[in-house]
Amino acid sequence: MHRTATRFGLIVTVAVLAAAKVAAQQASSSAGPHLQPNAGGEAAVKRVVDGIMQPYLAQGQRNPRGRRWSRSPYLGAIVAVSLHGHRYFFPYGKATDAGAPFTRDTLVEIGSCTKTFTTTLFALAINRNQIVPDASAQKYMPEGYTLRAQQLTPLELADFTSGMPDDPTNLPRGLERRSIEYYTVKDFLTWASQYEPTTQLPAPYRYSNAGIGLLSYLVATATGKTWEDQVNSEILQPLGMADTTLRPTPEQQKRLAQGHNRAGQDAPRWPVFAWYAAGGLRSTAQDMISFGEANLGHEEVNGEPVSAELIAAMQLAQKPIYAMPNGFNKQTIAWVNNMGEGNPNLHPVIVKNGGTSGFGTVIAINPTKDAAIFIGMNQVGANPATKGVEILRHLP
């Protein structure tokens, strides 16, 4: 139902952003970061963050959606806030079972927040005319693979209307056996090639790690660069995000927080899966707030200019496509526009949450307030997304 409107919207958006790109490039030489005075400064921000996070972290047990959750004695969190270009970091609890505190440089598994990097690369490829969002995905399949679902498009993978299940349906048992060393890229692409939708496309909303994973291989074919090469050259290096990676170095591993499962027990490290572009990155609060500022359209991050091309791609990735099942929020490509449950007095917050076997995370921006937030918590099921949105809406 939304396909024609979406195609038109994307084409118009690309044209508008391309025109704006010229003006942005002309202005970029004199443009600096969005530094403005904050009412009350750090103390005012801290009051908001503490007032929301401290009671939440103190909860011993919850039963969200019928799934029991018990607080780990080592539960901790790091909250990073950017408000008008000013950064604030608020640590809580413990990052490791040995009692090490969270810092802005503690690495966490960001899970599905990774998807926003992948859809930024997709948007870059769209703006460069390297990929057509409504074309058959087969056009961009890696050599040697033929889709049964010839009608499937890259856009349907990106906005969760492909009908694909969350994960491949032929995975072996055990988390480690599902890693890329055992369930290979070939295994994944073979499974994806055999996928057949059970309904007309675009299908109703269905969240899918597998769909975003397949999208990353389409973009790699279209651009001639692997996902890892692209994410490094197009996003991480330009934004100075040196601690964001699929495979932490030995030094970075020493700074990794210890994750915990829903029962509060130590969780194994999240493997790198063949669909790693859907949830494989590790990062820090320092790096992720840089990503948040770039998504706000800041023309300078970490003292370096952000290209108008990257800003345009990020804005395209945030463009609403259709209303989600709750009737209020709007789906973009990976991001969600949280519309405040229909309250016209609440400005949209653009948000993406993530989770692994031991972590819960959220990256979100409030463009109206020029504010971004990242929360990393070292227990799965902690679900910090609602708290991130709440904090953004209550900032001074």
Using DSSP bridges, classify how beta strands 76-83 and 86-93 pair: parallel, antiparallel or unpaired. antiparallel
* Residue 104 tokens, joined: 């802005």
- Domain range list for the chain: 3-394
CATH number, domain 3-394, options 3.40.710.10, 3.30.750.24, 3.40.50.300, 2.60.120.460: 3.40.710.10
Q: What is the pLDDT of residues 25-48, one digit of tens each?
A: 333 333 344 566 666 799 999 999
DSSP states along 271-337: PPPTTGGGT--EE-HHHHHHHHHHHTT-SEETTEEPPHHHHHHHHHHT---EE-TTSS-EE-SS-EE
R_g of the chain, CA atoms, integer Å: 20
Using DSSP bridges, classify how beta strands 349-355 and 330-331 pair: parallel, antiparallel or unpaired. unpaired
**Which secondary-structure segment (H or E) carries 81?**
strand 76-83
Using DSSP bridges, classify how beta strands 76-83 and 336-338 pair: parallel, antiparallel or unpaired. unpaired
Dihedral sign for Cα 141, 355, 266, 107, please. positive
202 cis-preceded (ω within 30 degrees of 0):
yes
Q: List beta partners, residue 331.
A: 322, 336
- pLDDT at res. 326: 82
- pLDDT at res. 19: 39
Distance CA 22, CA 123 (A): 18
Answering whether pTM is above 0.85, one says: yes
Task: Pick the closest to residue 92 from 127, 65, 52 (CA basis).
Answer: 52
Task: Pick the closest to residue 360 from 76, 133, 70 (CA basis).
Answer: 76
**Which secondary-structure segment (H or E) carries 88?**
strand 86-93
If you count DSSP H runs as helices and E runs as strands, how many of each does the chain have, helices first? 11, 14
Distance CA 8, CA 1 (A): 13
Give residue 29's region: left, alpha or beta (phi > 0; psi -120 to 50): alpha
Using DSSP bridges, classify how beta strands 322-323 and 304-305 pair: parallel, antiparallel or unpaired. unpaired
* Residue 3 tokens, joined: 């396909």
- pLDDT at res. 103: 98
Extract the residue ranges of the chain whose pLDDT is less than 50.
1-8, 11-12, 14-33
- pLDDT at res. 213: 99
- pLDDT at res. 68: 80
* Neighbour count for residue 302 (Cβ, 10 Å): 18
Give the CA-trace dihedral at 180, 185, 187, 190, to 10 degrees: 160
Counting Cα atoms < 13 Å in the Cβ hemisphere of 283 gives 31
**Residue 213 contacts residue 276 (beta carbons within 8 Å):** yes
**CB neighbour class for 390 (10 Å; exposed up to 12, middle 13-18, buried from 19):** middle
Q: What is the pLDDT of residues 152-191, one digit of tens each?
A: 999 999 999 999 999 999 999 988 889 999 999 999 999 9
